[in-house]
Amino acid sequence: MFILSTNAKWTAFHYSDKLRSSPINAPWTIANGAVFNGKIYVISSHGKIGVLNLNSPPNMTPLEVECIANFKCELCLLGYDQKLLLIDKSGSN
């Protein structure tokens, strides 16, 4: 769900059909996101990264990324020092 400053109510973003090239034959969800260089980047529960566009209608553009390892922990995106980083949060550290 998101709300734009020009809207009076929340909008649901339905994305279940946006990343058809999922390596796992199961529904995916947005696991994490980060704002970087004026864009909203998201990572799916299947490890795919895309740019979320909230214009009407909302859509997600998958990025062509080399291989992302098959992490078992929580993946997070972070914009830092002019780089978009993918972080694998392991345990409480």
pLDDT tens, position by position, 15-29: 655 545 445 555 667
Burial class (CB in 10 A: 0-12, 13-18, 19+), 69: exposed
Q: Which residue has the higher pLDDT, 23 or 75?
A: 75
Q: What is the pLDDT of residue 22?
A: 47
Rg (CA), the chain: 14
Report if pTM > 0.85. Answer: no
Q: Using CB atoms within 10 Å of the CB of residue 64, give its burial: 0 to 12 exposed, 13 to 18 middle, 19+ buried.
A: exposed
Q: 11-70: per-residue pLDDT in tens?
A: 776 665 554 544 555 566 778 889 999 999 988 877 788 898 877 666 778 888 776 666
pLDDT of residue 37: 92
